[in-house]
Homo-oligomer: A and B are copies of this chain.
Amino acid sequence: MEEVDHLAHERTKAQFDVDAMKIIWAGSRHAFELSDRISRLVASDPAFRKDNRTMLGRKELFKNTLRKTAHVWKQIIELHLSEEEASRLRFYVDEPAFTDLHWGMFIPAIKGQGTDDQQKKWLPLAYKMQIIGCYAQTELGHGSNVQGLETTATFDPETDEFIIHSPTLTSSKWWPGGLGKISTHAVVYARLITDGRDHGVHGFIVQLRSLDDHSSLPGITVGDIGMKFGNGAYNTMDNGVLRFDHVRIPRDQMLMRVSQVTREGKYRQSDVPRQLVYGTMVYVRQTIVSDASCALSRAVCIATRYSAVRRQFGSQNGGQETQVIDYKTQQSRLFPLLASAYAFRFVGEWLKWLYTDVTQRLQANDFSTLPEAHACTAGLKSLTTTATADGIEECRKLCGGHGYLCSSGLPELFAVYVPACTYEGDNVVLLLQVARFLMKTVSQLGSAKQPVGTTAYMGRVEHLLKCRCDVQKAEDWLQPSVVMEAFEARAARMSVACAQNLSKFASPEEGFAELSADLVEAAVAHCQLIVVSK
């Protein structure tokens, strides 16, 4: 049957320069051209086909991802791709793959927490993929509460080794991506014990499988945790379970940049500031915010095109029916999501700047903005991932029955996206952290400590508490300053109200627990303000 370009007419109606917008969206002409080139490379290579992804059984699906990941690696080598190109290539292949954690967490953990010697030893192996690593933090019993992890790493001064052990069922590592079938190594988080004393959770490099035949090493039990949401989605990934039965590793496999255990078993802090760890968190969460904008824009793109092509009802005299995009209800559901996708894109770019700023300050031993930067990225991670997950599902519904078919792309997009609300910090737990920071900020108002960065508006709290919105007619809302002040006033008032209610409790902790639902709302209002302001 003939092919018709149903969108051509809509496209001619754009009131802005589409090519210029493409560049703005990509961030720069260079970024646009890179994306364009790599996306074509992926689209034209049959090894990367995606159309069968939702139809394969689990085993076939996983093998398929293995083949793709190997092919990606081959392409990177053969085409001499830069790090930037390689990362774009992985992005467009568009499947959770076991190497995600290798590049995304294993290597960064060694970079951030390893000494220079450790980096020199392990990073070349990892870069050449002679070893494959995963990130084994979460256990069956503890995800959000990392300090509650139960795996132990007990120092044995006799042999100069740590003994890694899983003392309980709940201490089993549970979830790490790349663990179930593939990884040869892991960064394992465990309670460090020397001389009977518990020093809390630290990271260790542990070999899991033989480099000769890939069999699991003695004392190690490892497997896949089974099916996850969706057809393809994270089922292309071997999220795993891992138990240790007194597994011995050399002392120098504890990541020792921030704290060390000596040959004699003494525990010491180095002079590298612990706060460096938060710098990495700011980095990871910044990428999550950018990813949110990508995911939401894909969903919005599908739903917008569908809404322009789909016609339903309203035909007069046998003419064409109305495009569903012309229904106000469709618009009132779709357009705010479109706006959000852009907003998250710009706030993501701003977060990149924030990360650079924080890094430079850390290098100059200036920790003053770190709490604010940390609260800001935690809050934005929570806000943007929640909005994106809900937004993808709304886009799916906007496509009627067709949105329920995998061929629309939306079911998979949802299933693969939603865990972003849970990993790298459960979204509610993160908002509670933001709220804690806001309450501290409010309590310090009037003191010498001035609110900085995204909390600077709190400095005008007296004005914000009593100002009244002077909007007279609808058009007044088009003034950015009016919108900003409304968001500022709302955020400030909610925070101050929470702080006042908190002060009525005998203990702050009790008050915080009782009021936590309100506190979360105040945190959301603060984060919405940040998005609006950037």
A298 within 8 A of B: no
Residues of the B chain whose Cβ atoms lie less than 8 Å from the Cβ of A422: 397, 400-401, 403-404
Inter-chain contacts of A432 with B (CB < 8 A): 329
A144 contacts across to B, CB distance below 8 A: 312-313, 400
- Cβ of A505 under 8 Å from chain B: no
Q: Are B229's CB and A406's CB within 8 A?
A: yes
CB-defined contacts of A1 to chain B, threshold 8 Å: 169
Contacts of A332 on B, CB cut-off 8 Å? 517
Are A404's CB and B228's CB within 8 A? yes
CA distance A515 to B328 in the complex (A): 8
- Residue of B54, B328, B513, B514 near A227 (CB, 8 A) is B54
Bound Cα distance from A155 to B517, whole angstroms: 65
Which chain A residues numbered 116 to 134 have a C-beta less than 8 Å away from chain B?
none
Known contacts: A312-B142, A313-B145. The answer to whether A513 contacts B428 by CB under 8 A is: no
B426 touches A404 (CB 8 A): no
Write out the residue numbers on chain B whose beta carbons fall within 8 Å of the beta carbon of A312. 142-145, 148
User: Inside 8 A of A58's CB, which chain B residues have their CB?
Assistant: 55, 57
User: Interface stretch among A90-98, A106-114, A254-262, A413-421?
Assistant: A413-421
The answer to the question of A226 belonging to the interface, with a C-beta cut-off of 8 Å to chain B, is yes
Please state if B400 and A418 are interface contacts (CB–CB under 8 Å).
no
B145 engages A55 (CB within 8 Å) = no
Whether A82 sits at the interface, judged by CB under 8 Å, is: no
Q: Counting CB contacts under 8 A, is A308 at the interface? A: no
CB–CB B327/A405 < 8 A: no
A411 interface residue (CB < 8 Å to B): yes
Which residues of B lie under 8 Å from residue A517 when comparing CB positions?
328-329, 331-332
Q: Does chain B have a CB within 8 A of A520?
A: yes
Q: Which B residues lie within 8 Å of A321 (CB)?
A: 145, 148
Nearest CB in chain B to that of A403: its residue: B422
**What distance in Å separates the Cβ of A359 from its nearest Cβ neighbour in chain B?**
30
Question: Known contacts A401-B423, A411-B415, A418-B404: does B514 contact A328 (CB below 8 Å)?
Answer: yes
The answer to whether A406 and B313 touch (CB under 8 A), given A145-B321, A421-B397, is: no
Chain B contacts of A415 at CB under 8 A? 229-230, 411
CA separation between A356 and B345, bound complex, in Å? 54
Asked whether A317 is an interface residue with its Cβ less than 8 Å from the other chain, the reply is no
Task: Give 19 CB contacts A-B under 8 Å.
Answer: A56-B57, A57-B58, A141-B311, A144-B312, A145-B312, A148-B313, A227-B406, A229-B404, A229-B406, A229-B414, A230-B230, A327-B516, A328-B517, A329-B432, A331-B517, A396-B418, A397-B427, A400-B422, A401-B422
A: residues with CB less than 8 A from B are 1, 54-58, 60, 138, 141-145, 148, 169, 174-175, 225-231, 234, 311-313, 315, 321, 327-333, 393, 396-397, 400-401, 403-407, 411, 414-415, 418-419, 421-423, 426-428, 432, 513-517, 520
Additional A-B contacts beyond A227-B406, A401-B419 (9; CB < 8 A): A143-B400, A145-B321, A148-B315, A229-B404, A229-B406, A230-B231, A230-B411, A396-B418, A400-B422
Q: Which 3 A-B pairs have the closest CB atoms?
A: A57-B57, A229-B411, A332-B517
